[in-house]
């Protein structure tokens, strides 16, 4: 998504299937949102200029046929402290419904969100929530051009757009977000909740409000429970 500053501190959850206004970014001195092993943070950047001529990705670009999701159920509710390292608290079908409600270009990728979550031990509800906070599920900001669910900053040699890592497909962007969170935040830094992760992922110094970001992620995850 684009690294937009929060409008004041007023991040508003939308009615219907969760959502919010605002954004954040990745790039901070010595911290976080860089993909790969380079520590860095996430920065907010100005919204893209109106009238850009670069075309947005087509709906479902790079996703291929949607897999069957009937065998990908919700397994357990979120933990009281919202641990990311947890079984799925949403089904693949729920993820697909949320993406469709946002008219996301990644619509139909619920099974992929789910399967990458199971493979890395991360509840896919959090990947979906970060995607919504960052770019309204790929419909706003640089994510429209990068196929990224987390606005990860590019490192030297990466394919990039406006300083952000650009992926060939949403499948690659989804996979890379899970790898970043698992290897750097959880395994590397021992940060396992939104409250612990967001000060590094979206630090104050980059014009973010990590406490609001974390609260919104948790509110979205809770909203998707039956």
pLDDT in tens, 94-142: 999 999 999 999 999 999 999 999 999 999 999 999 999 999 999 999 9
Structural domain count of the chain = 1
Tell me whether residue 160 is in a domain: yes
pTM score, whole prediction: 0.75
The pLDDT of residue 206 is 80
**Structural domain for 95, as ranges:** 26-44+70-223
Q: Which helix (H) or strand (E) holds 27?
A: strand 26-28
Ramachandran region, residue 151 (left: φ > 0; alpha: ψ -120 to 50; beta: rest): left
The pLDDT of residue 208 is 86
For 83-104, letters b (16+ CB in 10 Å) and e give: bbbbbbbbbbbbbbebbeebeb
Comparing 50-64, 141-155, 193-207, which segment has the lowest mean pLDDT?
A: 50-64
CATH of the domain at 187: 1.10.530.10
Tell me whether residue 213 is in a domain: yes
Highest mean pLDDT among 8-12, 32-36, 211-215: 211-215
Tell me whether residue 204 is in a domain: yes
Tell me whether residue 58 is in a domain: no
pLDDT digits over 190-225, tens only? Answer: 999 999 999 999 998 888 899 999 999 999 999 999
For residue 27, what are its two tokens? 């790039």
Tell me whether residue 171 is in a domain: yes
Tell me whether residue 6 is in a domain: no
Tell me whether residue 17 is in a domain: no
């Amino acid at each position: 998504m684009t690294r937009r500053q929060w409008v004041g501190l007023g991040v508003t959850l939308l009615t219907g299937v969760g959502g919010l206004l605002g954004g954040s970014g990745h790039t901070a001195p010595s911290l976080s949102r860089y993909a790969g092993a380079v520590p860095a943070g996430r920065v907010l950047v100005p919204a893209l200029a109106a009238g850009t001529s670069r075309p947005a990705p087509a709906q479902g670009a790079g996703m291929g046929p949607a897999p069957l999701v009937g065998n990908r159920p919700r397994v357990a509710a979120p933990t009281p402290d919202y641990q990311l390292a947890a079984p799925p608290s949403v089904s693949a079908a729920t993820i697909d419904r949320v993406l469709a409600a946002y008219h996301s270009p990644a619509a139909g990728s619920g099974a992929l969100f789910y399967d990458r979550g199971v493979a890395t031990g991360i509840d896919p509800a959090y990947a979906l929530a970060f995607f919504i906070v960052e770019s309204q599920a790929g419909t706003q900001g640089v994510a429209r051009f990068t196929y990224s669910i987390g606005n990860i900053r590019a490192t030297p040699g990466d394919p990039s757009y406006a300083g952000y890592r650009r992926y060939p497909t949403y499948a690659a962007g989804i996979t890379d977000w899970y790898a970043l969170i698992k290897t750097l935040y959880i395994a590397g830094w021992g940060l396992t909740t939104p409250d612990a992760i967001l000060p590094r992922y979206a630090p104050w110094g980059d014009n973010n409000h990590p406490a609001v970001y974390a609260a919104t992620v948790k509110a979205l995850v809770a909203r998707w429970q039956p």
